[in-house]
Structure 1
Amino acid sequence: MASRNTSIFLLGLLLSCVAMSGAVRTLQEEAVPSKDDEHKPELPLLPEDELPPFPEVHLPPKPELPKVELPSFPEVHLPPKPELPTFPEVHLPAKPEFPKVELPPKPEMPAIPEFHFPEPEAKP
């Protein structure tokens, strides 16, 4: 299973490298000016088009809507709620007391040995 995951990862990595190298090659080709571009005459700048000013629009005032009164809801007389039956009382036995268990003392973790790199010798 691990080799399958590894092979899929490596295949994806290879495909991403191929895509990146193609993109870099395209960018490099666009960055290098060709010989034909050097001899082209410069195009004159075209004047920018200006739009005419937007005409002001005057809207008529909003009409006042008449106030609408909603009809009142009729009173509804519901029957009284039925009383729920009471649940019988249940007497459960008392919880049994479990014996207290004493665990052995926790072992101490061994200390990690310290490692010191040797000092490099001075070269003459």
Structure 2
Amino acid sequence: MAALKNCFLFLAITLCLASVKTSSAARHLLQIPGMPQLPTIPSLPQPTLPQMPSIPNMPTTTLPPLPSMPSLNLPNTPLPTLPSAPKLTLPPLPANMPLPTSIPNLPAIPTLSPPPSN
């Protein structure tokens, strides 16, 4: 277990030192005067796509009007009213209710002791 902790510690220290050296090397390269310019990447030729045929126009259709159905006319009758629900009343609360003054004790959870070590 101790070897694993030491391995992680060594790895963390190595990464910290490596990042410091890398960043200082990059800064040093950026501050050097007269650095050669990086070559430019030539642009690639754009491919030519074949002309797609145009989509033909769809013919427009007109729908005939719907026939009127006089047999479905419903009379305007009022809807029946719902009966009102009975009003319930609660009994009054007592004027001096006893309030708890202490929190009840929670039951203890039994714990097991570990076995003796060698």
For the aligned pair, the TM-score class normalised by the smaller chain equals: 0.3 to 0.5
TM-score, length-scaled by structure 1: 0.38
TM-score, length-scaled by structure 2: 0.40
